[in-house]
């Protein structure tokens, strides 16, 4: 069974990104890169299916030369072949233009199953997988959390994630494209020999000519979306003490001045030691710090 997995190299979102307010774009210099975690799940699943079906796993990636790193990481997981679509003309491709190039690459070879991450954690657009399926004219199931290949390898039964914790079971003939969700599996950590082998593995490179694409179909010219503005998400303000507007103004002011904390008067106990001890115990009981 021939399985193709589309992988994307993304900025590590655990490292804070900086936005350039002038150009509305992410400042690239300080970024660290990782393989999109959803794509890692797809690679892992492909390798598991391969083991059961005696198949082959091919990786495709659209990116700059540096994306080789992502492909080698996935090779280490057990993929057999890696294809890098690398061409300056591909820069600034949106989801649609990326899908165009990937669909062409996938169609170059025989395939039964195409796996993609449900979305990439950098843009969270979730467009590419669906677009590829449409371009290839094959079945599409999104948000897949479980995959079972039938014994005759002609169809798959998958579970997909719905809202509210629900799952849907879908059967689809092959070839099909599945976009995979979190919960599908837990990627294994490749051993050192696999990692070394992956470093030596061959990366097959294609430019747009090799894919049979024209300049108008890819990059910004092939894009169907336009980034109007990029801004950090608007997180909710952290709760801060705010007096209720319905309170009288003097009370609002009192609460503001105390920071919303009720001021408590300290007290000083005076007297003979024995008397002091009983007063202290009485106080602690009153404050519910000692049992009654």
Residue ranges binding another protein (CB under 8 A): 16, 18, 21-22, 234-238, 240-243, 245, 248-250, 252-253, 256-259, 265
Q: What is the DSSP letter of 22?
A: T
CB of 223 to another protein, least distance (A): 24
Tell me how crowded residue 77 is: count the other CB atoms within 10 A of its CB.
Answer: 22
165 vs 259, which CB is nearer to another protein?
259
| Residue 137 vs 237, nearer CB to another protein | 237
Complex with another protein: residue 239 or 288, whichever CB lies closer: 239
Q: How far is the CB of 92 from another protein (least distance, A)?
A: 22
Nearer to another protein, 22 or 152 (CB): 22
Question: Closer CB to another protein, residue 238 or residue 288?
Answer: 238
Name the CA radius of gyration of the chain, rounded. 29
What is the smallest separation between the CB atom of 266 and another protein, expressed in angstroms?
Answer: 9
State the alpha helices, DSSP H only, in the chain.
37-53, 68-76, 95-107, 128-136, 192-200, 208-211, 219-222, 249-257, 273-286
Supply 251's token pair: 């009370």
| β-sheet bridge partners, residue 34 | 10
The rounded distance, in Å, linking the Cα atoms of 114 and 84 is 16
Q: How far is the CB of 253 from another protein (least distance, A)?
A: 6
Beta bridge partners of 20: 25
Question: Minimal distance in Å, beta carbon 288 to another protein?
Answer: 23
């Amino acid at each position: 069974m021939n399985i193709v997995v589309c992988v994307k190299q993304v900025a590590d979102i655990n490292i804070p990104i900086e936005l350039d307010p002038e150009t509305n774009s992410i400042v690239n210099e300080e970024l660290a890169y990782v393989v999109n975690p959803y794509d890692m799940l797809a690679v892992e699943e492909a390798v598991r299916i391969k083991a059961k079906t005696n198949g082959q796993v091919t990786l495709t990636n659209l990116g700059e030369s540096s994306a080789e790193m992502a492909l080698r990481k996935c090779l280490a997981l057990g993929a057999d072949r890696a294809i890098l679509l690398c061409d300056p003309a591909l820069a600034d491709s949106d989801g649609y233009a990326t899908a165009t190039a990937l669909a062409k690459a996938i169609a170059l070879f025989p395939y039964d199953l195409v796996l993609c991450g449900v979305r990439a954690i950098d843009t969270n657009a979730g467009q590419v997988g669906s677009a590829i399926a449409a371009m290839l004219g094959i079945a599409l199931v999104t948000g897949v959390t479980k995959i079972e290949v039938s014994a005759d390898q002609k169809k798959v039964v998958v579970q997909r994630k719905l809202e509210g914790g629900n799952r849907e079971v879908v059967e689809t003939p092959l070839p099909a494209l599945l976009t995979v969700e979190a919960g599908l599996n837990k990627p294994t950590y490749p051993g050192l020999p696999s990692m070394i082998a992956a470093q030596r593995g061959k990366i097959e490179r294609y430019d747009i000519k090799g894919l049979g694409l024209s300049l108008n179909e890819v990059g910004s010219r092939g894009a169907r979306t336009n980034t109007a503005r990029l801004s950090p998400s608007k997180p909710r303000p952290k709760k801060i003490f705010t007096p209720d507007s319905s309170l009288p103004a003097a009370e609002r002011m009192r609460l503001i001045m105390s920071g919303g904390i009720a001021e408590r008067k300290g007290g000083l106990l005076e007297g003979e030691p024995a008397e002091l001890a009983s007063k202290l115990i009485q106080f602690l009981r009153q404050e519910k710090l000692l049992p009654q």
